[in-house]
Structure 1
């Protein structure tokens, strides 16, 4: 088994959400996803509910192992196509995604903070273009919500599982494009986009979300964690490149 305990208030409620939804989604998803079995209750000074799921073998995906893999790009696209094809529901507040505009102030502050490291003009131009890109105007679709390298497992050099559905929701799927900028090289990224059939506006919003996420992590942890600094530098650079 694996145990997941929220470390901040923003993750409260994820255990219950996963226990309800993942068993309903899993049969329609390749590859494997977590199989929740229980929700633990607050006790012994710990304040929030927490989740228990069956263990999934595998190692965390790496750029060195999968970044250039066209097969991986197609597998990731197939997962998202399958996820987006599952009928969604309305009215569940736990599934509401955060709009891109809701990250504006934090993202502009992060751009200013790292202006000496990255091209502030280019980042601002991308961010403003993403904010003004046409919004998702089709029916809401399922999104993973935190689809990046650290939430992919591999076995034998191939993608074997997608984990951490704490951000699971329904709406604009652009946020799930982050994986293209955290894991894939330019060539594999093009294969992924083609296999998924992403339109220009959604791709632009996805680049904006990847930029915002990378900036937030870099500004928060880059100075104290070399691994995070390297990963987010790649993410920001790839988002700028497109």
Structure 2
């Protein structure tokens, strides 16, 4: 089932043809289109050590190429500071064989995504996650600031999106209660300078080995943002006990912790309704995150 109205089909035949045309040294390697909860790219495994990512939503090829090149630079930069395995960029492919956009190739990482191997009750995993976030925060921003795209800047700039989410969530969620919560979150002040962040620490982007962090995927969004942004992982990935382990390890004060909760809330509100039919795993993640946030609030603010 397609997730987006403008979604582009990706098949193993298309991938095989692209590899034969553009990277003939890899032709003949087994190609597996992976079942994925991802919402941005189709992921294809090439042999034992490579993976290819194909943007799912139709966009201008030149803009897509520029975005993939930015992501490759960001991924390479993150790989230099990460204490855990991450994919490393290998090449960027051209449109062809019926696929209309550029695409990218990275190294393949072994492991099981956290959707399939739930690490939420593991204190050790929480400690690993804190070590990953801390290493990223310690990286030099080199004077760069938040780009203004997606999450990680000013909470109130998401009001219009949140209004749509509340409207679309009628009948799915307790919208009046959630509106009151957003009215609290959106007023949280920002006091700390940008730090380097992964930007999307959700279960589908985290690999688990045993009960430990085995690696982190989708690293192309690495960049400067609100220090609270990567704290979305506390709500997407952890139960209350390990969540406290993460908070203590990162020495989060109350404001930073609440802003992390706010970013997780914003993300969760969007995925519940948007993927309720087309990606039930993502939709369920959003519901679970909202439940964890609500459970953490001793009093949900009154008013509207």
Partner of 1:168: 222
Task: Count residues in correspondence.
Answer: 240
Superposed displacement of residue 227, structure 1: 2.6
Task: Work out whether 1:6 is the aligned partner of 2:6.
Answer: no
After superposition, the Cα gap between the structure-2 partners of 1:24 and 1:110, relative to the gap in structure 1 and judged at 3 Å, is: closer
Superposed displacement of residue 30, structure 1: 1.5
Partner of 2:281: 227
Q: Which runs of 5+ in 2 are unaligned?
A: 1-49, 297-304
Query: Which is further off, 232-241 or 117-126?
Result: 117-126
When normalised by structure 2's length, the TM-score is 0.71
Counterpart pick for 1:29 among 56, 70, 82: 82
Partner of 1:209: 263
Query: Which is further off, 147-156 or 96-105?
Result: 96-105
Superposed displacement of residue 55, structure 1: 0.9
- Partner SS, residue 56 of structure 1: coil
When normalised by structure 1's length, the TM-score is 0.88
Partner of 2:173: 118
Asked if structure 1 preserves the Cα contact closer than 8 Å seen for 2:192 and 2:227, the reply is no
Task: Output the CA distance in 2 between the equivalents of 1:107 and 1:65.
Answer: 28
Asked if structure 2 preserves the Cα contact closer than 8 Å seen for 1:144 and 1:168, the reply is yes
Task: Output the CA distance in 2 between the equivalents of 1:194 and 1:63.
Answer: 27
Name the structure where helix makes up a greater proportion of residues.
Answer: 1
Partner of 2:24: none
1:55-66 aligned at under 5 Å gives the runs 55-62=108-115, 65-66=118-119
Superposed displacement of residue 166, structure 1: 3.1
Asked if structure 2 preserves the Cα contact closer than 8 Å seen for 1:84 and 1:142, the reply is yes
Counterpart pick for 1:67 among 120, 128, 142: 120
Task: Output the CA distance in 1 between the equivalents of 2:143 and 2:70.
Answer: 14
Structure with higher RCO (Cα < 8 A, 6+ apart): 1
Counterpart pick for 2:185 among 100, 108, 130: 130
Q: Between Structure 1 and Structure 2, whose CA radius of gyration is higher?
A: 2
Q: Which runs of 5+ in 1 are unaligned?
A: none
Task: Work out whether 1:77 is the aligned partner of 2:126.
Answer: no
Superposed displacement of residue 229, structure 1: 3.2
Task: Output the CA distance in 1 between the equivalents of 2:233 and 2:199.
Answer: 11
Superposed displacement of residue 92, structure 1: 7.9
Superposed displacement of residue 45, structure 1: 4.7
